Structure 1
Amino acid sequence: MEADFAEYLDEFARRDWETLDPDAVTDPVRVAVVGLGWFARDWALPGIARSAYTEATVVTDIDDDAVEAVAAERDLTGVTPDEFRSGAAADAYDAVYVATPNATHLEYVEAAAEQEKAVLCEKPLEATLDRARRLVAACRDADVPLMVGYRMQTDPAVRRLRELLDAGVAGDVIGVHATMSQTMLGELGGEADQWRLDPELSGGCALMDLGVYPLNTTRFVLGADPVRVSGRTQTNHEAFAGVDEHATFRLEFPGGVDALCSVSQNAQHASRLEVTGTDARLILDPAFYEREDRGFAVVRDGTRVDVDFDQVHQIEEEFAYFGHQLLAGEPFHPDGEHALADARALDGIYESAETGRPVDLGDGDAA
């Protein structure tokens, strides 16, 4: 069994997208970080610093104290959101990373596009499908590159899984099962993340915040988009009133392949993606969280092989890819059009949850 897929697992953490020499980079992409929540502070800024292709130069947030503290700690230029939108410090950055609540992505991306800066926008694109379309259109009309922050796509474990599927190691794919759950109010610091509980800011909670991970990662590893979706949401506790606490959904892909997914903001911590084929099962467990190592296993004919590999800093890999592609003049895979397919699917799942009927996605539409 091992001989059949060993060649695909050689140098497991390799960057198959990398064509530039990181040691030769003298002028990395200068990044303005918009939004200084826990993820930006604890993961994005360190990831930018670790990447040879990027460096942070400017930060902004609606919290003046956070801007002052982070700017002083990291020797960066701090500006107010109004100053950022006006382009007051535009000469100090080449690209903009937007990590604000979902419903505020559009305004900052529009400002970056007007300044002709490349954009890395966190997922999901926006709080509604209409606003997601407007965001993509803003970058398209300004002819600025837009990448969406699907960090799973640059994680070597996910890329190796996709390679194994493409090589036929699993045989014909029959189905996908994925789960992602956490006790949000405990794990993410309780009061610090209340915007996720505001439907106007988040667009939803469990599905928008977590569901996008199994949705997009399944699309990526299968190399296909769902043609039909269905789903159900639940809210059982007062703290989640107005948003979805739990969600289950089904993605129907061409060829009769279904992905069955469950996500929750108030359940025991879990993170798993399993692809079952006629010849083998490929498993990522843990799969999705940036703060834990990924696990990778192949199971065939009753034999399980767990792969021991060097873990990477997921956010370093994401920003390395972002900076590399800009410096090399190459396009991004997770671009705006790619992300719109997720926005349509999420919108369809919420519609299905309301009506109790599946929703056909068709071939999509223009941004």
Structure 2
Amino acid sequence: MLNIALLGSGRMAHVYGPKINAHPQMNLAAIFNPRLSSAQKAAAQYGGRAEDSLDDLLAAPDIDAVVIATPTNTHLEYIGACAKAGKPIYCEKPLDLNLERVDHCLDMLATHRVPFMLGFNRRFDPDVAALKKAVDAGDIGALTFLMSWSREPAPPPIQYVKQSGGYFVDGTIHDIDLMCWITNENPSEVFAAGSCLFDPEIGAEGDFDATMTTLKMPSGCIVHINNSRKCAYGFDQRIEAFGRDGMLQTQNHRDQNLIRSTQDATQAKAPLKHFFLERYDASFGHALDAFYQSIMAGAAPSPSASDGRNALAIALACTHSAKTGETVKPDYI
């Protein structure tokens, strides 16, 4: 049994708390928040003890690993403390909003070698995983185009937008990670465009609520991503992989979403989940299980901190491209 300390008691902690409890080999031992009353409220819901001292928590002999589900601006501080304490870490994305700070984090993780997994949960969605497996198996031949549609039902509160790092870093980064993971490549250059068409307050912050992104991969595969902060019909999430020998698609969430189109047949199905907590519900549990399995096997978890660093570099390049109209080469290390 792996005893887990959950850092945070906000929205994402309320996603991970039930998932930890549902895992047959995980035990939610403690919930941390510097505001003890908030930790106590979450602990009353999900179990475990409430803690407001991170030092005491990490020194406790019954804590085997941590799940960090706190605001982004706290991630690096908590990662550093947990790594120095020798605790395996699962952390919500992104690592941080600043590449220089992320590079310091990677150096620290290289010094304190603990298992580390970044919470790009959408890799663990059953439909996305099925598409990735089919691409890797060569079912549609070499990829020529890879396309992602990710549209949200309504813009978030403006206070959230102000702290998000911008739409590319907050939203598109999920699509970026998936596109790089599916293609097994990072783009050599990016071009992005953005508008503010739905919420003037977002535009007043210098951000976008409608974007299109093109990633040019070294293989020649061209990736297209389109994002919208508003979608009248719900949470629109689709991927299309177009290869020399056919096409694969994931559609809006249903019991079976993978669509296969080949010379022999086209198979399709059809209603729409409303938000990411519903659409990607299963993926959070699968991600935590992958974290558990990697620890038990002594293997390096994936997605890694380096995956997170590259995705942030690409997202920041997209932001620069959208604001300048330039094609940008991402800042990889």
TM-score class, shorter-chain normalisation, is 0.7 to 0.9
Aligned amino acid, residue 273 of structure 1:
I
Structure 1 counterpart of 2:179:
218
C-alpha distance after superposition, 1:163-214 (max 9, x if no partner): 22122221221101111111344xxxx65xx65312xx3212x322221222
Is this contact kept in 2: 1:54–1:319, CA < 8 A?
Answer: no
TM-score by length of 1: 0.79
Matched, 1:245 2:209: yes
- CA–CA separation in structure 2 for the residues paired with 1:113 and 1:338: 18
The one of 51, 68, 74 equivalent to 2:46 is 74
Matched, 1:300 2:270: no
- CA–CA separation in structure 2 for the residues paired with 1:91 and 1:72: 22
Alignment of 1:1-367 (within 5 A): 27=1, 29-41=2-14, 43-80=15-52, 83-85=53-55, 87=57, 90-185=60-155, 195-198=159-162, 201-204=163-166, 206-236=167-197, 237-240=199-202, 241-242=204-205, 243-268=207-232, 269-286=235-252, 295-301=257-263, 303-306=265-268, 313-361=282-330, 364-365=332-333
Aligned amino acid, residue 107 of structure 1:
E
* Local SS of the residue matching 2:219: helix
* Local SS of the residue matching 1:91: coil
**Total equivalences in the alignment:** 319
Identity %: 22
- CA–CA separation in structure 2 for the residues paired with 1:239 and 1:77: 40
- CA–CA separation in structure 2 for the residues paired with 1:96 and 1:203: 25
After TM superposition, where is structure 1 displaced by more than 4 Å over at least 4 residues in a row?
85-89
Note the C-alpha offset of 1:336.
1.0
After superposition, the CA RMSD in angstroms is: 2.4
C-alpha distance after superposition, 1:268-288 (max 9, x if no partner): 33111101112211001126x
Aligned amino acid, residue 51 of structure 2:
V
Q: What are structure 1's unaligned runs of at least 5 residues? A: 1-26
Aligned amino acid, residue 46 of structure 1:
P
Distance 1:157 1:319, change over 3 A: same
- CA–CA separation in structure 2 for the residues paired with 1:67 and 1:266: 33
- CA–CA separation in structure 2 for the residues paired with 1:32 and 1:298: 41
- CA–CA separation in structure 1 for the residues paired with 2:81 and 2:73: 15
Is this contact kept in 2: 1:180–1:272, CA < 8 A?
Answer: yes
C-alpha distance after superposition, 1:54-74 (max 9, x if no partner): 222111235544311111222
* Local SS of the residue matching 2:249: strand
Distance 1:274 1:229, change over 3 A: same
C-alpha distance after superposition, 1:210-248 (max 9, x if no partner): 212221111112222211112123234233232332322
* Local SS of the residue matching 1:282: strand
Q: What are structure 2's unaligned runs of at least 5 residues? A: 271-279
C-alpha distance after superposition, 1:119-150 (max 9, x if no partner): 11111221122222222222222112211012
Distance 1:67 1:209, change over 3 A: same
Aligned amino acid, residue 270 of structure 1:
D
TM-score by length of 2: 0.87
